[in-house]
Amino acid sequence: MCKLSYCGQDCQKIPPSLWNMYGNKVHYLDLSYNNIETLKGLENFKMLEELILDNNKLGDNVSFPRLPKLRTLSINKNQITDLDKFINEVSQNFPSLTYLSLLSNKACPNQLSDNDKDDTDYQRYRYFVLYKLQNLRFLDSKRVSSVERREAATRGEFMRVRRPPSDSGSSVPPPTGTTMRPLPIDLNALGKHKGNYNYLTMH
């Protein structure tokens, strides 16, 4: 597997040099700890299976290209508030997705990022997401259970979590020292994001 990490570089978009040099080779792409606001150029990574976008500035206007091979999307600690729009984008463009993590976004009503939410709000969110993305095996920090999947099939359509008020501001950061790294998958770059860049390996 070909892996590319470009982390902690303070960039606002994907540098064209990355897709020009590696777009046709990369299966795993880590862009964590930047200031990315747009995913323009991501469509050039046609072989992509795993995409890590944690700790960026992606908001509700983000547009995802169609990546039919993508299985893993981690987009923790960004600025996504509109769950409906986000899930519709993901559903249309990532048909093979099985792992998704949205922790520390307003769209994910988790107590780590919003003290006003409780376990009931979070479970409603899970039912709704699982209703829309029926291939998911993991959502955030938890494996999808068979019971949960059945509940989502029957009730998920009615479990939309209301958006926060428009004046609520940007996402509330988690407590100092909190690290969002929930996906239980074997990625060599996990825990090595900050300061990691232009690291390409072929397996």
Instruction: Please write the tens of the pLDDT for every residue from 14-60.
Output: 999 999 999 999 999 999 999 999 999 999 999 999 999 999 999 99
pLDDT value at 142 more than 60 = yes
* Residue 124 neighbours by CB distance under 10 Å: 19
Burial of residue 3 (number of CB atoms within 10 Å: 0-12, 13-18, 19+): buried
Mean pLDDT of the 111-129 span: 78
* Most confident of the following: 106-110, 124-128, 185-189: 124-128
Q: What CATH number is attached to the domain comprising 148? A: 3.80.10.10
pLDDT of residue 59: 97
Give how many domains the chain has, as a whole number.
1
pLDDT of residue 35: 98
β-pairing, 142-143 with 138-139? antiparallel
pLDDT of residue 157: 63
Mean pLDDT of the 187-194 span: 43
Domain range spanning residue 161?
3-201
CB burial readout 54-68, b (16+ within 10 A) else e: bbbbbbbebebbebe
* Helix, strand, coil percent values for the chain (each to nearest 5): 25, 15, 60
pLDDT value at 108 more than 70 = yes
Segment among 28-37, 65-74, 138-147 with least mean pLDDT: 138-147
pLDDT of residue 114: 60
- pLDDT category, 119, cuts 50, 70, 90? confident
Rounded Cα distance, 109 and 115, in Å? 9
Q: Distance between alpha carbon 176 and the CA centroid of its chain, in Å?
A: 21
pTM for the model: 0.78
> Would you say how long the chain is, in residues?
203
- Coil, strand, or helix at residue 95? coil
Burial of residue 17 (number of CB atoms within 10 Å: 0-12, 13-18, 19+): exposed
- Nearby residues of 14 by Cβ (< 8 Å), 6 or more positions away: 31, 36, 39, 40, 41, 42
